[in-house]
Homo-oligomer: A and B are copies of this chain.
Amino acid sequence: MLKLSRLTDYAAVVMAQIARHPEQPHAAAELAEAVQLPHPTVSKTLKMLVRAGLLLSQRGSQGGYRLARPASQISAIDIITAIEGPVAMTECSQDDGDCELAATCGVSDNWQRVSLAVRTLLDSVTLAHLAETTPIKLPVRLPIQSVTLASEAGR
């Protein structure tokens, strides 16, 4: 279905929660309560976010989690990558690229361009954006994305 894993979803919700109160550290138990999710699961998610460098943790009483940098400098793709690994549309758009079918494939280059466009899009969405509550939805348009496909590449 080309969707985020559930853990990634949790991660975004938790990150947003922290982003709305960036001063104090937040214990896992407190966050779990706030977002109404099981403690062990939230805890697992938080650990992944720490390992990815998006959160800082402090042990001991009065400890907890804080953002490693301002919410405006954390992007959606950072969160997704932290939980799911690199965003790539196809197997072969990854780094290793060990697809031996590349010869007969014929679409890999273009998929890679699409991948890049998706990544760029997700990179332009920040945690600050996600954390904002949205009382009204007024469609204001703003171009944020470019993609180059073979057909436009001069051939």
Contact size class for A?
A: 35 or more
Could you tell me if B153 and A148 are in contact, using CB atoms closer than 8 angstroms?
no
Interface-forming stretch among A21-29, A40-48, A55-63, A135-143? A135-143
Residues of B within 8 A of A129 (CB): 110, 149-151
Give a binary string over A113-125; 1 marks a CB under 8 Å from any B CB, 0 the rest: 0100110011011
Instruction: Tell me whether A50 is interfacial, beta carbon within 8 Å.
Output: no
Q: How far is the CA of A106 from the CA of B31 in the complex (A)?
A: 13
Could you tell me if A3 and B142 are in contact, using CB atoms closer than 8 angstroms?
no
Q: How far is the CA of A16 from the CA of B2 in the complex (A)?
A: 20
Could you tell me if B148 and A134 are in contact, using CB atoms closer than 8 angstroms?
no
| Copies of this chain held together in the complex | 2
Could you tell me if A91 and B153 are in contact, using CB atoms closer than 8 angstroms?
no
Q: How far is the CA of A134 from the CA of B110 in the complex (A)?
A: 8
Instruction: Tell me whether A74 is interfacial, beta carbon within 8 Å.
Output: no
Which A66-121 residues sit within 8 Å CB-CB of chain B?
Answer: 76, 80, 84-91, 101, 104-107, 109-111, 114, 117-118, 121
Q: How far is the CA of A85 from the CA of B136 in the complex (A)?
A: 29
